Amino acid sequence: MLESTNKSTAINSIVEAVIDTSCIKSNLAAEKLASSSVNRWSVAEIVALFELPFSDLMYQAQTVHRLHFDPNAVQVSTLLSIKTGGCSEDCGYCPQAARYHTEVESEPLMRLEDVLTAAQEAKDNGASRFCMGAAWRGPKQRDLEPVLKMIAEVKAMGLETCATLGMLKEGQAEQLKDAGLDYYNHNLDTAPEFYGEVITTRTYQDRLETLDRVRDADINVCAGGIIGMGESRNQRAGLLAQLANMERPPESVPINLLTQVEGTPLHGTEELDLIEFVRTIAAARITMPSSYVRLSAGRQSMHEGIQALCFLAGANSIFYGEKLLTTGNPDAVTDKNLFAKLGINQAGVSQV
């Protein structure tokens, strides 16, 4: 107990040092910032953040947030499934895996015109980024060609572009970059030691290699995970440590709450307490102060009070629209009403 109290106090000091601008020029915070070791978080340190009294955690997360972002602005992305279902992988949460019997019907790659119509709608609804998702293990070259056209045309409409197409082979990230891709999403999903409980058809290392390819091609990295899959708090902290300790943490960090879909292996998993979810958002904000932390899948099951706590904890990006690939999402009107209640500005996110 004493050890954990000491640990908590130590974490408080680190966070306070980092957030106290008056001491940035001197002491520990300056050293951590100068040496980039501000990004070096041990799992134990992140667990200690989770264990802080809720008000202290929220205060620290909000303070870090205000140092890096406009606190009343939330970036809005729209996600479109451009190729649905029939995936060869076995991700235990995913209704698009061909091997699970779910209500998702396989659909071929969408036509370019239909993608552009959806992108225009997203833009009209205030989205600044348009994400295109395809249920593949990874794109074959013949799959990639039409997607490159989609990216180029969506970019020409004045939207930021994002794609999530699975694992990338050598050279593919460069092609995506040349087409105008701004962000590539590839989630780590969970901590390395829990990963094998969820997915067996690709390794953690495969995922890290794809993220390296994206980074090397100078595309912004979008990588996060899914919470509530039966992992422990240590493993939630382990996921955040993986992300925060990357040489450059992802620019965008989606934190998903497991959406349980009947027919998938994770259906029936014990529900996560939503305060623990808010704590995860806060810990992500503190450990990755300059990243956009995205409140992603699972929002449809959250009361607006919990969503408000997530924004207070430092979430500053959401997916907008009725569907997230294949699962539900609050509709645009509901989101607009919530933003109005909270005084959130969806257009003007800026980093400070």
Task: Cite the active site residues.
Answer: 87, 91, 94, 131, 162, 222, 294
Is 80 a binding residue for ligand SF4 by CB under 6 A? The answer is no
- DSSP three-state, residue 162: strand
Measured distance between the N- and C-terminal CA atoms of the chain, rounded to whole angstroms: 39
CB of 330 to ligand SF4, least distance (A): 22
Considering only residues 141 to 160 of the shown chain, the ones binding ligand SF4 according to CB under 6 A are: none
Is 94 a binding residue for ligand SF4 by CB under 6 A? The answer is yes
Interface with ligand SF4 by CB under 6 A: which range of 85-93, 142-150, 169-177, 284-292?
85-93
E runs forming strands in 84-230: 129-134, 160-164, 183-185, 220-222, 225-227
- DSSP three-state, residue 293: strand
Interface with ligand SF4 by CB under 6 A: which range of 53-61, 93-101, 105-113, 257-265?
93-101
Candidates 47, 75, 89, 217: give the one binding ligand SF4 (CB under 6 A): 89
Q: Are 336 and 343 in contact (CB under 8 A)?
A: no
Interface with ligand SF4 by CB under 6 A: which range of 1-9, 91-99, 110-118, 214-222?
91-99
Q: Are 160 and 123 in contact (CB under 8 A)?
A: no
CB of 246 to ligand SF4, least distance (A): 21
d(CA 250, CA 221) in angstroms, rounded, equals: 5
d(CA 314, CA 311) in angstroms, rounded, equals: 5
- Cβ neighbours around 7 below 10 Å, total: 15
Residue whose C-alpha is closest to residue 133's, from 324, 291, 317, 293:
324
CB of 255 to ligand SF4, least distance (A): 16
Candidates 15, 74, 91, 191: give the one binding ligand SF4 (CB under 6 A): 91
Considering only residues 238 to 267 of the shown chain, the ones binding ligand SF4 according to CB under 6 A are: none
Closer CB to ligand SF4, residue 166 or residue 238?
A: 166
The helix or strand, by DSSP H or E, that contains position 80, with its residue range, turns out to be: strand 75-83
Strand partners, 162: 131, 183
> Which residue is it, tokens 């259906």?
267
Interface with ligand SF4 by CB under 6 A: which range of 84-92, 313-321, 330-338, 344-352?
84-92
Query: Number of residues in contact with ligand SF4, rule: CB under 6 A?
Result: 8
Q: Are strands 160-164 and 129-134 parallel, antiparallel or unpaired?
A: parallel
Closer CB to ligand SF4, residue 13 or residue 200?
A: 200
Q: Are 102 and 209 in contact (CB under 8 A)?
A: no
Is 97 a binding residue for ligand SF4 by CB under 6 A? The answer is yes
Closer CB to ligand SF4, residue 60 or residue 96?
A: 96
CB of 261 to ligand SF4, least distance (A): 11
Candidates 19, 104, 135, 293: give the one binding ligand SF4 (CB under 6 A): 135
- DSSP three-state, residue 140: coil
The helix or strand, by DSSP H or E, that contains position 286, with its residue range, turns out to be: helix 274-287
Is 324 a binding residue for ligand SF4 by CB under 6 A? The answer is no
Please tell me what DSSP assigns to residue 249: -
Length of the chain: 352
- Cβ neighbours around 311 below 10 Å, total: 23
CB of 84 to ligand SF4, least distance (A): 9
Is 190 a binding residue for ligand SF4 by CB under 6 A? The answer is no
E runs forming strands in the chain: 75-83, 129-134, 160-164, 183-185, 220-222, 225-227, 252-257, 292-295, 317-320, 323-324, 327-328
CB of 97 to ligand SF4, least distance (A): 4
Is 166 a binding residue for ligand SF4 by CB under 6 A? The answer is yes
Considering only residues 278 to 307 of the shown chain, the ones binding ligand SF4 according to CB under 6 A are: none
Closer CB to ligand SF4, residue 78 or residue 210?
A: 210
> Which residue is it, tokens 């293990």?
137
Residues that bind ligand SF4 (CB under 6 A): 87, 89, 91, 94, 96-97, 135, 166
